[in-house]
Amino acid sequence: MNHALLTEIAVAHFGLAALHHVVTVVLGAIWWQRREELGRVLPVYLAICFLTVAWAMRGPLWLSGGAPALVFAVLWMRETVRPECVMVFTRTPKPRLILAVAGTLVALAFPGYSGELPTFIAAPIGVLVAPTLLLGLSLLVAVDAHEARILTAAHALAGLACGIGHIVTDGFTLRGLVGGLSLLVMSVAAALIALGRAPMLEEEQLPQETSVEQIRSRLYQKRTLLPGPRDPRRRSGRFGRR
């Protein structure tokens, strides 16, 4: 793993990385609010991320970076055509959701390859394999992906190899530990999902909001321009007909 060459590639494609940062944040915010409505958009976006990685890593690092990224792009396109993941996090336990959010934040600020630029806008998502792979792992950990065994297992194996490679190459530095350990932890979680060992919330554990009062209170918890629910015990200001 040639760190100097990887940094050169990342800095040369700073605009592409910044674009992926914006798209990732926007899609993540929309998905968090309206998780059922994105459908196959997320797999398509991950496929595009890996395609741009394959394009950015053309040249001397094609075999170690570009070709594997192209394989992952094909796997995500297969998920788009024949979806096996349920792209919602309703049944995902909170510890897994926290882990997925943490992995996404590390991917958005992946250390060591931004040159003189700040990592939170120049981390090479869609440019280098490691942060893009971490983003894919975070999504798979957050959703119900136990049926997508090929996709999840491929991410887990590649994440383990990439995480070990980062630690061996960079040593026990902050750069090597943050990137490498994040990949290792997310890869172990993805491996458990692929093996069917990761817990999921059962139907009876999901919040049930069936009464009118519960639905009404949840509806008006969000900021809205609509007036709140009217208390039926409160007298109206208008006079009734006599």
Low-confidence ranges of the chain (pLDDT < 50): 204, 209-215, 217-226, 228, 231, 236-242
Dihedral angle of Cα 119, 120, 124, 125, to the nearest 10 degrees = 160
Helices (H) and strands (E) in the chain, counts: 10, 0
Amino acid (one-letter) located at 3: H
pTM for this entry: 0.82
Burial class from Cβ neighbours inside 10 Å (0-12, 13-18, 19+) for residue 46 reads buried
Q: Which two tokens stand for residue 117?
A: 């630029």
Q: With H, G, I as helix, E, B as strand and everything else as coil, classify residue 144.
A: strand
